[in-house]
Amino acid sequence: MSEPTFAAPGAPASTAAPEAIVIGAGPGGLAAAAALRQRGLRPLVLERGEQLGTSWRNHYDRLRLHTTRRMSALPGLPIPRAYGRWVRRDDVVRYLERYAEHHDLDVATGIEVTRVERTDTGWELPATGGRVLNSPVVVVATGNSHTPYIPDWPGRDTFSGDLLHASAYRNAGPYAGRDVLVVGIGNTGAEIAVDLVEGGAARVRLAVRTPPHIMRRTTAGWPAQASAVLVRRLPTAVVDRVAPLIERISVPDLSAYGIPRPRTGLYARVLDGAIPVQDVGLVAAVRSRRVEPVAAVERLDEDQVRLTDGTVIRPDVIIAATGYRRGLEALVGHLGVLDERGRPVVRGARTSPAAPGLYFTGFTNPISGMFREMAIDARKIARAAARRR
């Protein structure tokens, strides 16, 4: 088995002209590159970070996959059994490194593509270092977590405490003994709130704008992901009628603690981009009142935070688990391939009629698991690209 080629910043990994360029060396990009190689194409993977899997390397310490090891493997290489059922962040990174080596992928790090331009023969990609790369096939795999987003709350610049995005949070150590407000009750916000409590924060409040669907990660050994795979092709209305029954049986009602049952359907929310919160300690922390749900943030004023219910609190720290922007507008916005929310209009094996040979992967939050869907997308993209060649 040969070693993967990791180029110095500003240089492609191979002197041979690539038959496909993949932008992003996370799980989606590596999966697509491996599938393309299996179809006989020469892909080149470009990564703006100095190492592959940059996004995963920068996540908080306690993060694990919320999908099972067996159902999260990328094409052509199982995740080692020794990593356990719920794979830790560091083991995900090790797996991605091993994956690139196993498939002998060309990965050029330290190169950021600034724009994708159409040419008569395919695609032209201006990149850092003054380079211009060309390929008949381009796969955009930069993912949903491209650019951290903090809302422009009125008075944000006046806040005298610490304000950081969740992407800058690693562990609870720096916040021991402090009063912390976590904003956002997605999986990241919920898990950071629990981590803070367990790590010795003096007080942890969790700002909730829209009550989430909360599901147990596993019930009697049966993972929630397995159920999601079974129902993902059912009509939305059917899943939305069944899901509340499962939630009521498996998850206690937290209305008395400040998190009411959601009124919108679970699957309808997923299709809109909001996946359920996997309970990895949040329910117990809320019921024991170690994590205090509060209303959404309305404005900041020096040391004060005014909430939408009129309450004023004075946290030492605000951690904004408020999501990311995809950052695709500058890259491909001029090609007419994005919708009004900046999401690719098509993904997987499909390409826009105005952009043949341009593929997207990793820009959804599927109920059945991101890694699993990226693996499926990779195979579809590779088949389509091979036919195009």
Share the mean pLDDT of the chain: 92
Average pLDDT over every residue of 177-203 = 97
Q: How far is CA 71 from the centre of its chain?
A: 17
Residue 2 CB neighbour total at 10 angstroms? 6
- Do 296 and 176 share a structural domain? yes
How high is the pLDDT of residue 1?
Answer: 35
Which of these ranges, 71-80, 259-268, 288-297, has the smallest mean pLDDT?
259-268
Confidence label for 271 from pLDDT (cuts 50, 70 and 90): confident
- Residue 13 reports pLDDT greater than 60: no
Q: What are the tokens at 43?
A: 């892909």
Q: In what order do the strands lie in the sheet with 123-126?
A: 117-118, 123-126, 132-135
- Do 190 and 125 share a structural domain? no
How high is the pLDDT of residue 4?
Answer: 38
Which of the listed residues 300, 320, 340 is the one where a domain comes to its end?
320
- Residue 15 reports pLDDT greater than 60: no
Which of the listed residues 275, 297, 320 is the one where a domain comes to its end?
320
Q: What are the tokens at 53?
A: 């899997």
- Do 292 and 190 share a structural domain? yes
- Do 19 and 162 share a structural domain? no
User: Based on the structure, what is the number of domains in the chain?
Assistant: 2
- Residue 277 reports pLDDT greater than 60: yes
Question: In this prediction, what percent of the chain has a pLDDT beyond 70?
Answer: 96
The range of the structural domain enclosing residue 220 comes to 149-320
- Do 316 and 185 share a structural domain? yes
Over residues 78-122, the pLDDT tens digits come to: 999 999 999 999 999 999 999 999 999 999 999 999 999 999 889
CA distances from 248 to 80, 121, 242 (A): 35, 56, 10
- Do 129 and 30 share a structural domain? yes
Confidence label for 237 from pLDDT (cuts 50, 70 and 90): confident
Q: In what order do the strands lie in the sheet with 106-109?
A: 5-7, 106-109, 43-47, 20-23, 138-140, 358-360
How high is the pLDDT of residue 16?
Answer: 64
How high is the pLDDT of residue 272?
Answer: 77
Q: What is the pTM of this model?
A: 0.90
Over residues 112-153, the pLDDT tens digits come to: 999 999 998 899 999 988 889 999 999 999 988 889 999 999
Q: How far is Cα 379 from Cα 253, in angstroms, rounded to an integer?
A: 41
Give me the residues paired with residue 222 across strands.
219
User: Residue 261's domain is classified under what CATH number?
Assistant: 3.50.50.60
- Do 196 and 111 share a structural domain? no
Q: How far is CA 251 from the centre of its chain?
A: 25
- Do 161 and 109 share a structural domain? no
Over residues 298-350, the pLDDT tens digits come to: 999 999 999 999 999 999 999 999 999 999 999 999 999 999 999 999 989 99
- Do 296 and 208 share a structural domain? yes
Which of the listed residues 320, 346, 371 is the one where a domain comes to its end?
320
**How many residues in total does the chain contain?**
389
- Residue 12 reports pLDDT greater than 90: no
- Do 341 and 223 share a structural domain? no
Indicate the helix (H) or strand (E) that contains 123. Answer: strand 123-126
- Residue 9 reports pLDDT greater than 50: no
- Residue 35 reports pLDDT greater than 50: yes
Average pLDDT over every residue of 187-199 = 97
Q: What are the tokens at 346?
A: 């098509």
- Do 61 and 168 share a structural domain? no
Average pLDDT over every residue of 232-254 = 85
- Do 192 and 86 share a structural domain? no
Over residues 353-382, the pLDDT tens digits come to: 989 999 999 998 888 889 999 999 999 999
